[in-house]
């Protein structure tokens, strides 16, 4: 595997700012599975505290293994998260931790994990974890043979974790932008509804725009409902005659 090729593919992932966090993680585990020698599959998760808020797996068996060990509360990736707290200092904004299992057949630290992993054909794994702010990203690589994950490739995998963290930042920014767009859209739709209702009142009562607005405000206060709800009432009732201000 060429370092340049891996870096290029990682940069391609980094440029994917238009996708969701879930899609970005799926791209990340797929890239790791294909590019890291000895890696037969991978899982990744974005954590806030002890809860994985987004997760991905290259294979269904690995997704099942992740969920099983999350419930059990014992797994290499959980220890990797714990190691971040041990590594971090009060001045550190980000830190990286690594936990490895050379052979699940000889593993004694996580007996439940080792048994579940062996049942799924996993003989070794390496977990990398990175924290940035209140988020953490874990990336676990699995091998079908004992010690098949070359330690010399770990710096490259760490590079992927760093890119993955940046991807999550981009995805969060994209999600935030989408929420802002939704709020703006709702605001525009609400304004259009209010203008339509005000026009109905002006036509029905022969009043000015300001008078119609004041009447709608009075209806809102009297019925304890929002101005948008008042507007909907006014529009729905235009065929029956506009409602009286203050009507309950």
pLDDT digits (tens, 9 = 90+) for 126-150: 998 888 777 888 999 999 999 998 7
* 69 shares its domain with 11: yes
Residues 67 and 134 placed together within one structural domain of the fold: yes
Contact 216, 231 (CB under 8 A): yes
Judgement on whether residues 196 and 103 belong to the same structural domain of the protein? no
Q: What is the mean pLDDT of residues 170-189?
A: 61
53-65 pLDDT, tens per residue? 889 999 999 999 9
> 56: domain CATH number?
3.30.450.80
What are the phi and psi torsion angles at 141 (to 5°)?
A: -105, 135
Whether residue 35 contacts residue 1, with contact meaning beta carbons closer than 8 Å, is answered with yes
Together in a domain, 121 and 164: yes
Rounded to two decimals, the pTM is 0.66
Q: Report the domain count for the chain.
A: 2
Domain assignment present for 219: yes
Q: Which of 13-27, 55-69, 93-107, 210-224 has the lowest mean pLDDT?
A: 13-27
The residue range of the domain holding 29 is 3-175
Alpha helices in the chain (DSSP H): 3-14, 21-35, 60-72, 76-87, 111-119, 154-205, 209-223, 227-236
């Amino acid at each position: 595997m060429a370092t340049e090729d891996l870096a290029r593919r990682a940069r391609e992932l980094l440029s994917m700012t238009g996708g969701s966090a879930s899609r970005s993680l799926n791209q990340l585990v797929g890239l790791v599975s294909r590019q890291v020698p000895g890696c037969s599959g991978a899982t990744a998760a974005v954590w806030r505290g002890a809860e994985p808020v987004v997760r991905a797996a290259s294979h269904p068996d690995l997704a099942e293994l992740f969920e099983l060990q999350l419930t059990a509360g014992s797994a290499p990736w959980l220890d990797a998260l714990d190691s971040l707290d041990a590594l971090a200092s009060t001045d550190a904004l980000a830190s990286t931790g690594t936990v490895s299992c050379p052979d699940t057949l000889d593993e004694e630290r996580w007996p439940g994990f080792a048994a579940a992993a062996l049942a799924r054909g996993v003989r070794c794994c390496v977990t990398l974890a990175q924290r940035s702010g209140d988020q953490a990203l874990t990336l676990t690589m699995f091998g079908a043979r004992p010690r098949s994950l070359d330690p010399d490739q770990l710096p490259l995998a760490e590079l992927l974790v760093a890119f993955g963290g940046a991807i999550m930042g981009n995805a969060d920014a994209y999600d935030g932008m989408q929420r802002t767009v939704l709020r703006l859209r709702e605001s525009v739709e609400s304004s259009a509804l209010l203008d339509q209702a005000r026009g109905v009142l002006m036509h029905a009562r022969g009043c000015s725009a300001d008078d119609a607005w004041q009447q709608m405000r009075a209806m809102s206060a009297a019925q304890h409902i929002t101005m948008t709800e008042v507007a909907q009432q006014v529009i729905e009732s235009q065929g029956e005659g506009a409602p009286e201000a203050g009507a309950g």
